[in-house]
């Protein structure tokens, strides 16, 4: 049995997205900047993809910028707002402690330049309140950047309410929508979003392509200098096959979204119920306000990496947190931010399901995790100390 349950790291491309890309790697290979008819066919495809993606987000075509993915979009959005703020003498930025590193590391860079960064605390449920944002906004605040949904614990933020607060106070609002796009509805107008990052490989599209939505009138800086592509804000020949694949994947992901999410939520609840039977464990993040496919647990007395390797032996692909922190021995900053102690945060497991997973697979995962946790605890001196009372259980 081979079960892929790491869809928050990346997804398998859909057949429709692959098919949508193929013609642009063979027959229609022109450069959209070329004036001849071959170039113009590519330019038409590019315009069509931009129109379709804009429509799906409630945006205008000229507000959609194609980038290399979520990380680039986050960087460009935040740096653009910072440069704009700097010119007006505003050097304060508000964000949360559970953001993706593409956001946090960009903020670190700005901090070194003299920006002041306020990271709001989500509390144990992993959810911010719009009031917290309202209370943190100052006259010198140039940006609020809060992710739509978290990549580790799956919690969904009250983006519409946060957007409304920012709009009322006249502060730019960016949201990293990479985990949300294609999974839950996003509408830039209704959600009062000024800038939004999305990435195709998180919704069954190709890797290395994404979008930065920026409301009309927001002056973007470019991270890459060169030609005048993307209205001069992102130089380099457009990746037409990937862009076509992304447009198709996004459309497909949003078709019958409610039905798909109903099924996915059922699988998620089954998995949460099953894993909750394991003693001394805890679900990370609010149980309801989370992505339909996200399950995240901490198990006491377990080392996360060891659990992953043993699960992989059973054919289960999972993650300890985000793909970005694996390989480092530091526990997840997200789990620490929601108040998990170090020794608990080390025993984390994230399972991110897609609509392709089945109930049989979920049951197999449950029994696999039960076996692996029992085995690891059986050989652990820490566990023995917990069981014979030399050390106190936390969970
Ligand atoms: C994956 C991810 C990113 C990075 O996107 P890439 O396209 O891989 O650069 C950024 N933010 C979140 C929340 C993500 O899950």
Sign of CA dihedral 333, 339, 344, 348: negative
Is the confidence at residue 225, as pLDDT, over 80?
Answer: yes
For atom 3 of ligand 1, the residue with the nearest CA is 70
Dihedral angle, C-alpha 26, 32, 35, 38, nearest 10 °: 20
Task: Specify which residues 299 forms β-bridges with.
Answer: 281
Q: How far is the CA of 197 from the centre of ligand 1 (A)?
A: 9
Amino acid 328: pLDDT? 59
For range 245-274, the mean pLDDT: 98
- Pairing outcome for strands 281-283 and 294-299: antiparallel
For range 338-363, the mean pLDDT: 96
Is the confidence at residue 323, as pLDDT, over 80?
Answer: no
For range 243-262, the mean pLDDT: 98
Q: What percent of the chain has pLDDT over 70?
A: 98
Q: How far is the CA of 19 from the centre of ligand 1 (A)?
A: 24
The response to whether residue 152 sits with its C-beta less than 6 Å from ligand 1 reads: no
Domains of the chain: 15-254 (3.40.640.10), 256-387 (3.90.1150.10)
For range 69-96, the mean pLDDT: 98
Q: Say what angle helices 101-112 and 70-87 make with each other, to 10 degrees.
A: 30
The 3-state secondary structure of 160-203 reads: HHHHHHHHHHCCEEEEECCCCCCCCCCCCCCCCCCEEEEEHHHC
Q: Which residue from 9, 11, 71 has its CB within 8 A of the most atoms of ligand 1, so it is best to mutate?
A: 71
3-state secondary structure of 313: helix
In ligand 1, which atom is closest to the CA atom of 9? 1
Amino acid 324: pLDDT? 47
Close Cβ partners of 160 (under 8 Å, ≥ 6 residues apart): 190, 191, 192
Active site residue 324: yes
């Amino acid at each position: 049995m081979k079960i892929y349950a790491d869809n928050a790291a990346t997804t398998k491309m859909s057949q429709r997205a692959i098919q949508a890309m193929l013609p642009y790697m063979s027959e229609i290979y022109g450069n959209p900047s070329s004036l001849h008819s071959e170039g113009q066919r590519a330019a038409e495809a590019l315009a069509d993809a931009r129109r379709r993606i804009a429509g799906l987000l409630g945006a205008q075509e000229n507000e959609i910028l194609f980038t290399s993915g979520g990380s680039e979009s986050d960087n460009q959005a935040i740096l653009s707002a910072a440069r704009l703020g700097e010119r007006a003498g505003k050097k304060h930025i508000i964000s949360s402690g559970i953001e993706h590193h593409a956001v946090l590391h960009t903020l670190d860079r700005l901090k070194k330049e003299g920006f002041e960064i306020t990271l709001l605390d989500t509390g144990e449920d992993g959810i911010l309140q719009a009031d917290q944002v309202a209370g943190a906004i100052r006259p010198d605040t140039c940006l609020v950047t809060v992710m739509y949904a978290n990549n580790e614990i799956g919690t969904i933020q009250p983006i519409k309410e946060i957007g409304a607060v920012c709009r009322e106070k006249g502060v730019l609002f960016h949201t990293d929508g990479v985990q949300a796009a294609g999974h839950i509805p996003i509408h830039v107008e209704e959600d009062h979003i000024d800038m939004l990052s999305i990435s195709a490989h998180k919704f069954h599209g190709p890797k290395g392509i994404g979008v930065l939505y920026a409301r009309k009138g927001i002056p973007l800086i470019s991270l890459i200098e060169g030609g005048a592509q993307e209205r001069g804000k992102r130089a380099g020949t457009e990746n037409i096959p990937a862009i076509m694949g992304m447009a198709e994947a996004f459309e497909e992901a949003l078709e019958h979204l409610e039905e798909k999410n109903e099924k996915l939520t059922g699988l998620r609840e089954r998995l949460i119920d099953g894993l909750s039977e394991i003693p001394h464990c805890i679900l990370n993040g609010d149980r309801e306000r989370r992505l339909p496919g996200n399950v995240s647990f901490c198990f006491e007395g377990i080392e996360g990496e060891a659990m992953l390797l043993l699960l992989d032996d059973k054919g289960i692909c999972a993650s300890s947190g985000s793909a970005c922190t694996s390989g480092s021995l530091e526990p997840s900053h997200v789990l620490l931010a929601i108040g998990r102690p170090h020794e608990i945060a080390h025993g984390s497991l994230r399972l991110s399901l897609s609509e392709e997973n089945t109930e049989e697979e979920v049951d197999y995962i449950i029994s696999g995790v039960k076996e692996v946790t029992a085995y690891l605890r059986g050989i652990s001196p820490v566990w023995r100390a917990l069981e014979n009372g030399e050390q106190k259980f936390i969970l």
